[in-house]
Every structure is written in structure tokens, then in C-alpha cells.
Copies of this chain bind each other. A is one copy, B any other.
Amino acid sequence: MALRVAVAGASGYAGGEVLRLLMGHSQVQIGAVTGNSSAGQPLGAVQPHLVPLAERMLEATTPEALAGHDVVFLALPHGQSAAVAERLGDGTLIVDCGADFRLKRAADWQRFYGSAHAGTWPYGLPELPGGRAALRGARRIAVPGCYPTAVSLALFPAYAAGLAEPEAVVVAASGTSGAGKAPKPHLLGSEVMGSMSPYGVGGGHRHTPEMAQNLSAAAGRPVTVSFTPTLAPMPRGILATCSAKATPGVTAQSLRSAYEKALRDEPFVRLLPDGQWPSTAAVHGSNSALLQVAYDEAADRIIVISAIDNLTKGTAGGAVQSMNVALGLPEELGLSTIGIAP
């Protein structure tokens, strides 16, 4: 007996990836697919890679179109989810890929988004301490941001085990799909190919408070994050280089052991064998997060590198994984740990 699932915002990158995964999910039947300016077009015109759905027509994103589904995925510009959610009722599981319901503190929302805080929903990162418990049975899910997924998976074991001082420094490179499909000059292929550039430097990126929220919860005390995102010349993938001063007594061995222990039973997070480093190529299109750790003795810092696909584990895959947990389905349904390489 299949779940009937709608996807709002199906013409964008996040929505397209949700559809791609749902098409391989054995318990799902795809219902409405909606867009905004793309409404009225066949899906094949805007998502030509989704061949089996090429002739499905995009409807406008309205409460009517989204009604009558068991699950609704929202892949909308931030600020639009609350209104949609209100109209759908508690009978529908809503999985919001947007930012609206991720943050706990209204002040953080207001500072980084400049509008009224809509509220807080159960947070869709099952791997965090208490993460699965918070999702089981949930009717609303806030899917984490792509950077916070990469960074929280990388650093929560260190903070949970007390191995890192509460000042994290993160530099992450993201593929351009993280910036969305709306055409802007700096996102043109001519501009990004062959070029690396930073943005939101100095604490201005909206994902910063979300990372701090997750790491502070893991540490049991406030953690600050100095976060610098960079745009890399690739369509997908995040490589996050995360470090922090080690707490007294940390060794390479104790660091590795803590990660082995924390991640042992995780189906989607893999600590690589010693000496092997993550690459975004290895997680292309997969729901895997690949991790490696190091202890830099001279600088007395722990360094954790994580690689994810920003659209899969970082958005749509995390969303489907959380849906599975919320509905009591096997967590891995519709998801793969196998990347497409080279």
C-alpha cells in the first residue's frame, strides 16, 4: 500500500532531487508535482533527466494541488512554508527542505533572515544524539541545510565526546547547485568554471547559527562557529574542513576511537580507513557522508573532513531518510550509499 507523495517546487534543484529519489522508493507513489513559473509545462522540459516523469505536467503550487497526499515535500524559497503548512492539516506529513523551521531561537532567525520566526519543527538529522527519537511519529520535519549537515556530522562526535574546545573553524566548498537554479550572473558557467571564490565571509552565512545550534547541543555548552563557505567549480558536493582546538589529553588514537564508536551503526556515515581521505566525487548522487579525522600535534587541533552530496544527503536524501524515520519505515528505503564515479 503505497504512500501518496506530492512535491512542491519540483522544477528546482532540490525538488528535482526529491523526485529522483522518490522514484526509486518502493513505498511511494508520486502524486502532484508543482512549480511556480514552470506550472503548465511538462516536467521533462525542466528536469530532462527524470525520463519516466517527462510527460507529467507541473501544476501551480496551491493548497488544492497539495491536498490529499500522505506526504508533502516542500522545496520552496524560504518564508513560504508556513502558509502552505497551515492549509494542509496534521493528517499530512510535511517535509520542509527550506530554512523556515530549522532554528530554535527566534533571535537567530530574525538576525539572519530579517522576518518573523515561523517556529521550530523536529529536525531532520537522524544521526545527531537524540535525532531519531525526535523524528519518530513526527508530522512536520525541518530538513537541515546542506552545510549544517556536512559540518554537524563532522563535528558532533568530537563535541559529544568532549574532545574539542567550543570554537570551531569551518571552511567548506560547495558545488553550484547549492545556490539554486535562479539565474544570476555570478552563477553562470563562464564565471564559475575554473574559479574558486568565497561568500558570506565573517559570520554572515545563514547556515552559521544552525551549525552552532547543533554543535552546542552535542557539546552541552555554547559552541561558536567561524564559517567560510566557498563556491567550487562543480555542480554538486560539499567538502567541509572542520577544526577546533583539542581539549587536553586528546591523541590521534582517542580521536579516532571516539568517531568509530559514534558512527559504528550509522547506515549513511562512513569513517574512512586511516590514510584515505573523502572526496565529493565518491558521494555524487548518494546519501553517504564520508569522514576522516586527524590530530595536528603542532597546532594542537583536531581536524575533521566530511564530504556529502549537497543535493542528496545535504537536502533530498536527508529529507527522505527523515521521512522514513518519521513513518517507521526502514531508514534506508529509496536511498543508496553508492556514488556515481568517476
Determine the chain B residues whose CB is within 8 A of the CB of A176 once the complex forms. Answer: 188-190, 193
Determine whether the beta carbon of B187 is less than 8 Å from that of A175.
no
The reply to whether the CB of A214 lies closer than 8 angstroms to some CB of chain B is no
Interface residues of A in 276-320 (CB under 8 A from B): 276-286, 288, 290, 292, 294-299, 301, 303, 305, 307
Evaluate whether A193 and B338 lie within 8 angstroms (CB atoms) in the complex, with A198-B241, A226-B299 already known: no
Looking at the assembled complex, report how far the CB atom of A256 sits from the nearest CB atom of chain B, in whole angstroms: 12
The reply to whether the CB of A129 lies closer than 8 angstroms to some CB of chain B is no
Determine the chain B residues whose CB is within 8 A of the CB of A243 once the complex forms. Answer: 169, 226, 228
Determine whether the beta carbon of B285 is less than 8 Å from that of A285.
yes
A338 contacts which of B45, B52, B198, B233 (Cβ < 8 Å)? B52
10 contacts between A and B (CB under 8 A): A48-B282, A48-B339, A169-B169, A176-B190, A187-B188, A194-B236, A201-B294, A202-B295, A224-B298, A225-B299
Determine the chain B residues whose CB is within 8 A of the CB of A232 once the complex forms. Answer: 173, 196, 232-233
Q: CA–CA, A27 to B147, complex, Å?
A: 38
Looking at the assembled complex, report how far the CB atom of A26 sits from the nearest CB atom of chain B, in whole angstroms: 11
Determine whether the beta carbon of B239 is less than 8 Å from that of A197.
yes
Looking at the assembled complex, report how far the CB atom of A145 sits from the nearest CB atom of chain B, in whole angstroms: 17
Looking at the assembled complex, report how far the CB atom of A174 sits from the nearest CB atom of chain B, in whole angstroms: 9
The reply to whether the CB of A2 lies closer than 8 angstroms to some CB of chain B is no
User: Which of A16, A236, A342 gathers the greatest number of chain B CB atoms within 10 Å?
Assistant: A342
Q: CA–CA, A44 to B292, complex, Å?
A: 14
Determine whether the beta carbon of B188 is less than 8 Å from that of A52.
no
The reply to whether the CB of A230 lies closer than 8 angstroms to some CB of chain B is yes
Q: How many residues of A contact B (CB 8 A)?
A: 92
Number of copies: 4
Interface residues of A in 213-272 (CB under 8 A from B): 224-226, 228, 230, 232-237, 239, 241, 243, 270, 272
Evaluate whether A280 and B195 lie within 8 angstroms (CB atoms) in the complex, with A171-B241, A230-B173 already known: yes
The reply to whether the CB of A159 lies closer than 8 angstroms to some CB of chain B is no
The reply to whether the CB of A167 lies closer than 8 angstroms to some CB of chain B is yes
Closest partner residue, chain B, to A16 (CB atom): B341
Determine whether the beta carbon of B188 is less than 8 Å from that of A20.
no
Determine whether the beta carbon of A181 is less than 8 Å from that of B190.
yes
User: Which of A237, A273, A283, A296 gathers the greatest number of chain B CB atoms within 10 Å?
Assistant: A296
Determine the chain B residues whose CB is within 8 A of the CB of A175 once the complex forms. Answer: 190, 194
Looking at the assembled complex, report how far the CB atom of A22 sits from the nearest CB atom of chain B, in whole angstroms: 11
The reply to whether the CB of A63 lies closer than 8 angstroms to some CB of chain B is no
Q: CA–CA, A243 to B277, complex, Å?
A: 23
Looking at the assembled complex, report how far the CB atom of A168 sits from the nearest CB atom of chain B, in whole angstroms: 9
Determine whether the beta carbon of A189 is less than 8 Å from that of B337.
no
Determine the chain B residues whose CB is within 8 A of the CB of A297 once the complex forms. Answer: 203
A188 contacts which of B171, B189, B239, B280 (Cβ < 8 Å)? B189
Determine whether the beta carbon of B49 is less than 8 Å from that of A203.
no
Q: CA–CA, A177 to B270, complex, Å?
A: 26
The reply to whether the CB of A82 lies closer than 8 angstroms to some CB of chain B is no
Determine the chain B residues whose CB is within 8 A of the CB of A52 once the complex forms. Answer: 337-338
Determine the chain B residues whose CB is within 8 A of the CB of A84 once the complex forms. Answer: none
